[in-house]
Amino acid sequence: MKIAIAGAAGRMGQMLIRRIAATEGCSLAGAIEAAGSNALGRDASEVAGLEKGGVKITGDSAAAIGAANVVIDFTVPAATVAHAGIAAEKGVAMVIGTTGLDPQQTALIHAAAKNVPIMWAANMALGVNVLMALVEKTASMLDPSYDIEVLEMHHRHKIDAPSGTALALGRSAAAGRKVELEKVWRKSRDGHTGARPTGEIGFATLRGGEEVGVHTVYFASAGERLELTHRSFSREGYAMGAVMAAKWLEGKKPGLYGMKDVLGL
């Protein structure tokens, strides 16, 4: 499978390139960076700390995506939407790990998925997706007297909050309770907020240092508290899941898929 990487010179992009090199049956076919990047023109594998592989980092997204069977994108919303449009036009499958898309951008991803298979997930680490399944099951078993709170911490460079993974965990909890997350969420608290309403799903966000990602879902009642936690020690888990998803997309029909589909959860 020939894979193109968007954001190839970034930390996640470099990890993906190393994972592709270590995965049998996969090869790097294209590497994309934004205009003005110091990495443009450099060998993508060398940038990732490997021996030269012959694929240079380019700003020509159409050429890089057109050379691949699938493109993996962990960039920013505007770039991801643009790449999805190119992938749809060229018949190239896509794996998306970008979060923070607004409703209009989300609609454009859905539109692209009518032409090509797209796997889009807030988090591709295998353990996180097992956590989501556990959160949904736990929420379905405990009555609404158990308050649900989602706490997440990421590195100081992260630009969206709450994290896409935190929101996905909230959606898992809401699904377990058979409610719409948007009707019960509380994304932040400040000042005199009053007592916590029954059934609310709250979020708390921490940012600092180089923390890769920590997510904890609390189920708290008057007499006990259950905590379900996942911690990422490196981006390797995300890269492993993304490449697994890329291979899984081979031969799939156009449509929007998630890691639940990839893992059979």
DSSP codes, the chain: -EEEEETTTSHHHHHHHHHHHTSTT-EEEEEE--TT-TTTTSBHHHHTTS---S-BEES-HHHHHHT-SEEEE-S-HHHHHHHHHHHHHHT-EEEE------HHHHHHHHHHTTTSEEEE-S---HHHHHHHHHHHHHHHHS-TTSEEEEEEEE-TT--SSS-HHHHHHHHHHHHHHTS-HHHHEE----S---SPPTT-EEEEEEE-TT--EEEEEEEE-SS-EEEEEEEESSTHHHHHHHHHHHHHTTTPPSEEE-HHHHHT-
Start-to-end C-alpha separation, the chain: 24
Annotation marks residue 192 as catalytic = no
The answer to whether residues 201 and 174 touch, using CB atoms and an 8 Å cutoff, is: yes
Q: Rounded CA gap, 37 and 32, in Å?
A: 10
Catalytic residue among 90, 114, 155, 158: 158
Catalytic residue among 56, 83, 154, 215: 154
Q: Rounded CA gap, 54 and 27, in Å?
A: 11
Annotation marks residue 178 as catalytic = no
| Residues classed as catalytic | 154, 158
